[in-house]
């Protein structure tokens, strides 16, 4: 098991859900966590809570689709800490109008789909590219990407843009492993089924309270990220596929 004390992790989409849970768990493991997301308030609240329990947390608010902001953030983290050990590319979004029928009825829906691609795909390769120089210099680095069950299989609830973006980041993660493994850099795509996060609020058909209790919880994904972070530098976990034990037919 690899010690994480003193190592630095940058988490995007860190204000709520998986990102927030992962920030708390990785901070408890001894990592300095840098929290990013579009809304500063939840980031600051999470960072303050981490500091209250003795952890190290910082905030850089940004939109992962803003390439210049992402590169500036990576440079700032590297300048302050002299290292970037882990990127958790977790930021992502979806929209309620998500199926072909929605776009046929109203082609302006495609503009919304562009924002999904910007966050879910472009945001990931912006972040990966921004941290690679520091990780190459260290000859060591871990990238964890929140993909989805919909990135591995067809999901009737995911929608066109979301499903396409999550399939794309699976290839992106594989490209990191094949191209950057020689530099000591490894990538893991975590592919969860339904997780109890705010993104479920955008579903055309909302989950019931009972269904929300049965889906994956953010802490479950945080534990998976911690597991990967603790693996030895010579071991690369390429993919983790996670589903609720009581799988709903909606996943298929």
The burial class, CB within 10 Å (0-12 / 13-18 / 19+), for 28 is: middle
Question: Nearest-CA neighbor of 4 among 142, 134, 148, 204?
Answer: 142
The residue with tokens 């010579």 is 234
10, 113, 125, 162: the active-site residue: 162
Beta-bridge partners for 33: 9, 57
Angle at alpha carbon of residue 99, lines to 96 and 102, rounded to 5°: 80
Characterize 145-165 residue by residue with b for buried, 16 or more Cβ atoms within 10 angstroms of its Cβ, and e for exposed: bbbbbbbbbebebbbbbbbbb
The residue with tokens 């082609």 is 107
Tell me 31's DSSP state: -
Question: Nearest-CA neighbor of 242 among 192, 189, 196?
Answer: 192
162 is catalytic: yes
Catalytic residues: 162
């Amino acid at each position: 098991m690899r010690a994480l004390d003193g190592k630095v992790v940058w988490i995007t989409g860190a204000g709520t859900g998986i990102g927030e849970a992962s920030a708390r768990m990785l901070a408890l493991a001894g990592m300095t966590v840098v929290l990013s997301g579009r809304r500063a308030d939840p980031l600051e609240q999470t960072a303050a809570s981490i500091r209250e329990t003795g952890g190290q947390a910082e905030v850089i608010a940004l939109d992962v689709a803003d390439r210049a902001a992402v590169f500036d953030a990576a440079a700032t983290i590297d300048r302050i800490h002299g290292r970037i050990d882990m990127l958790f590319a977790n930021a992502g979004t979806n929209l309620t109008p998500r199926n072909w029928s929605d776009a046929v009825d109203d082609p302006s829906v495609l503009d919304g789909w562009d924002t999904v691609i910007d966050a879910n795909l472009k945001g990931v390769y912006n972040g990966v590219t921004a941290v690679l120089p520091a990780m190459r210099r260290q000859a060591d680095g871990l990238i964890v990407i929140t993909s989805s069950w919909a990135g591995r299989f067809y999901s009737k609830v995911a929608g066109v843009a979301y499903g396409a973006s999550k399939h794309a980041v699976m290839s992106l993660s594989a490209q990191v492993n094949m191209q950057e493994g020689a530099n000591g850099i490894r990538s893991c795509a975590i592919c969860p089924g339904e997780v109890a996060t705010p993104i479920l609020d955008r579903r055309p058909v909302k989950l019931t309270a009972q269904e929300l209790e049965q889906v994956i919880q953010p802490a479950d994904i945080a534990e998976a990220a911690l597991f990967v972070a603790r693996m030895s530098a010579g071991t690369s976990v390429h993919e983790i596929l996670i589903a609720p034990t009581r799988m709903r037919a909606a996943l298929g």
